[in-house]
A and B are shown apart, each in its own frame.
Chain A
Amino acid sequence: MREVAVIGVGLTKVGHLFSESLRSLFSRAVRGALEDAGNPKIEALYVGNMSAGQFNNQENIAALLSDFAGLNGIPATRIEEGCGSGAAAIYNGYKAVASGVHDFVIVGGVEKMMDTTANDATSIISTVTDQEYEAFLGLSLVGINAMVMRLYMNTFGVDREPFAKFSVQMHDNASKNPYAQFPFKTSLDKAMNSNPVADPIHLMDCAPLGDGAAALVLCPKEYAKNFTSKPVEIIGAGHGMDNFIFHTREDFLSLKATRDAAREAYRMAGITPDEVDVVELHDAFSITAFLSIEDLGFVEKGAAGQIVDEGLIALDGTLPVNPSGGLKARGHPIGATGVYQMAEIVLQLRGEAGARQVPGAEIGLTNNISGFGASSYVHILRV
């Protein structure tokens, strides 16, 4: 197997981008990534997208997007794995390069959500849950997260405050990120007193709806030096799965898919969790972030709130989490999120993250999940 490096990054600001379409967003991200990589000849495209069919009434988008991004004629594939579609595209592009099938590929993600109303978008997102035994009964993705948050608070004796503190930290980070949907700070008071969405989850525990696209250029590490002075290598990749329906899981307070993906990625990279300098993880809701921090092996079960309380997840802490602002404040254009995460880690490891730079970061980790952890991807990168 060949070693694989990221040599180009392109991304759009996340937001309610009413003047941008599905195709214009993606072509902007691709152009950015190609320019950053020094315009290598691309051999294949893998694009993550959750639901262009529902958000934009458009299927068959691999052909559409490759055509409008100036990549017509190369093999292009759309990959759907719910909210994990972005990381799924990366993983497949990574395997294509590692195996020797292709040398230069683009992996990207795009979601154009604001072509629907917020209400419809929420229903569309709920299609990542089981339609017959969850959504049929009125349960949505936030509802599942809320049930877990209540159980977590009850089991570990935690109140809502550490969760709210997490969101405040995400906004702090996003205030330094020009690509963020919410580039401004908020207060603990505002986070604590926002409206309940699905009790105990309040509005400020939730990632927003937004449009966005991101793309990366991957190639064999041996060619990377010809294109960039700072190639970032993918040294570990893992993909885990769990039971699809939440109530059939073995453990309601742990993401088995993430534990499995992380174990594989750490093994492949030959590192332990304490060697990770910076993390981008999947805080669709603040409870999802807490479980992820624990299941990625950074702290014990029930202890995520403690490190948030102590400020250890801040940019200058021992475990900087989501310097981009995370799904909460950078934004969560669903099928693109996994690619935004890796784009951020690449910028961090190159030392190009500006005001939100984690000093001296050399090893970074990304974790993108689908649904409430029905599947999970972990990638580890090193400069």
Chain B
Amino acid sequence: MQVSKFWRELPQRYRLEGKKCVHCGKVCFPPRDICPSCGSDDMIKVNLPKRGKIVTYTVMYTAPANFEIFKPYIIALVQLEDGTHLTTQLTDCRPDNIDIGMDVEAVIRKINEDGRDGIIYYAYKFRPVLKRAEKKLN
């Protein structure tokens, strides 16, 4: 893969940058230039909340060729605290201790790599919210 193809998506992948419609308030992830709800092109950058809930998930036992070595892995549809949805891998958990409705939080993880000498792809994954971190915040 050309570096530029990955590089230009970094704001979305490293800090969950989306876009919000100034006209109607719709938040989009991934970002887009035209609001799908009202058609306005007045869109501003926003950072999405880093927490959400699992809407549904799957455990991938067969994988596309470049993900073979990671299987089985879990992919979830997550609803963030502001209502925006995204697709993500789950990490730091096993298939038997997750469920629909579980609270999850974003972390940065390695997604894949282009062979020995190529790019290493990092991006968001989500994990079950750590109980200990919760206490510290309170």
Contact = CB atoms under 8 A, between A and B. Distances in A.
B95 interface: yes
B77 A198 contact: no
Contacts of A198: 58-62
A147 B61 contact: no
A142 B55 CA distance: 17
A255 to B, nearest CB: 16
Interface in B63-79: 63-68, 70, 73, 75-77
A248 B85 contact: yes
A180 to B, nearest CB: 24
Interface stretch (B42-50, B86-94, B127-135): B86-94
B77 A147 contact: yes
Interface of A: 119-120, 122-123, 126, 132-140, 142-143, 146-148, 150-151, 154, 195-201, 243, 245-248, 252
A196 B87 contact: no
Contacts of A134: 87
A140 B85 CA distance: 18
Nearest to A122: B64
B65 A119 contact: yes
A138 B59 CA distance: 11
A125 to B, nearest CB: 9
B64 A140 contact: yes
B30 interface: yes
B55, B62, B95 — most chain A CB neighbours (10 Å): B62
A380 B64 CA distance: 36
Interface string B107-129: 00001100000000101000000
A314 B20 CA distance: 49
Contacts of A138: 60, 63-64, 67, 70, 73, 75, 89, 111-112
